[in-house]
Amino acid sequence: MNKNILTVCVAALLQLALTSPAMAIPDSNELSAIAGLTTTLDQKYAPGSIATGEVADIALKEATVAQQRLQNWYEQADKACHSKFFVNDCLDDTKQQRRQYIVVLQRISLEAKALQRKLRIEQLDRELLQRQAKP
């Protein structure tokens, strides 16, 4: 029960961060915040560290919120590039910056989803065995 409350609180805090006024202007401060968040999530959910369903749920929620925040920054930065003289250079730089963080967030999401699938299949197998054991 406490873990469910913690999950809801974490999701709410991350949602507040997602809708912050800093998202209105694509700047290096927002990108720095995203970089810090990505680094924190990468350390918190190092490869192979997601071992339970509860951790997988929380990791997936946090990674999804961070991905959405990164996507919002990317869209704002992409729009800002169109007002610059060297549009293509700006767009390339923006894509490169996004790419370096999205890889980490996608790894976390994929690992969490893989564990969720594995646990769901194990549960279905147990249920099937129970039904087959009944006369």
pLDDT of residue 7: 56
> In angstroms, rounded to a whole number, what is the distance separating the alpha carbons of residues 67 and 60?
10
Determine the straight-line distance between the first and last CA of the chain, rounded to whole angstroms.
36
Q: For the whole model, what pTM was predicted?
A: 0.73
pLDDT digits (tens, 9 = 90+) for 78-123: 999 999 999 999 999 999 999 999 999 999 999 999 999 999 999 9
